[in-house]
Amino acid sequence: MRLDGKTAVVTGAASGIGRATAETLARAGAAVIIADLSQDKGEQEAERLRGDGLKASYVAIDVASDESIAAFAKTVLGRGEVHVLVNGAGFGKGQPFVDNDAAFWERVVDINFLGPVKLTRALLGPMIERKSGKIVNVASDAGRVGSSGETVYAGAKGGLIAFTKSLAREMARYSINVNCVCPGPTETPMLMVLPENHLEAFKRAIPMRRFGQPADIANAILFFASDLSSYITGQTLSVSGGLTMA
């Protein structure tokens, strides 16, 4: 699965799944734009990839800010075409729904749902004109089957799944593929802050008896970003070690 000559934007690419995705796409030949709120980590990651002889650059973005998204799109499109967009930035925290406040809800929805919607719209025009493009949204199995302590997060990710399917229907006429990857429990900073007993319970529930690695998710994203998935659109792929099979 090669992406030579392609430019790929990956949000949330300074850590976790986004970081693994940026590296995987770069090793497949893409020129990767690392899009992240953390300038220090983003620039370090771009430098690390360039040190391995790969094509990578960092451009700042806050997916919860309309102004930041607009500035990001202007910068990126000013450099040339974007062939692949991976909406990988995410935010969540385990907490009972009744303990959430409105500010928390808004942040969860802004980052996990509205951010991808707005960035996709900002980068979509040239894809439509070119009649080609790959959009991969990173949702969560929480959005497919629910997750205790992540109710609004699950709602936002469920919205992203539905957005994926609907946009895929609209964009098919332009040969733009829109698909969704849903990670199960994956060894990222967001998961590993949970208490040890919760982590062990999670692991016992997974048929493969291990957490996903960021690279497991990145490989699925690479498939959707590549030409091997050219006749696949509007699909949701769980990468969960068998935890969810519905």
Active site residues: 153
Beta bridge mates, 242? none
How does DSSP classify residue 184?
-
The contacts found for 25-29 with CB under 8 angstroms, 24 or more apart, are 25/84, 25/86, 25/218, 25/221, 25/222, 25/225, 26/54, 26/55, 26/56, 27/54, 28/1, 28/2, 28/3, 28/4, 28/222, 28/225, 28/226, 29/2, 29/3, 29/4, 29/5
Q: Residue 126: is it exposed, middle or buried by C-beta count within 10 angstroms (0-12/13-18/19+)?
A: middle
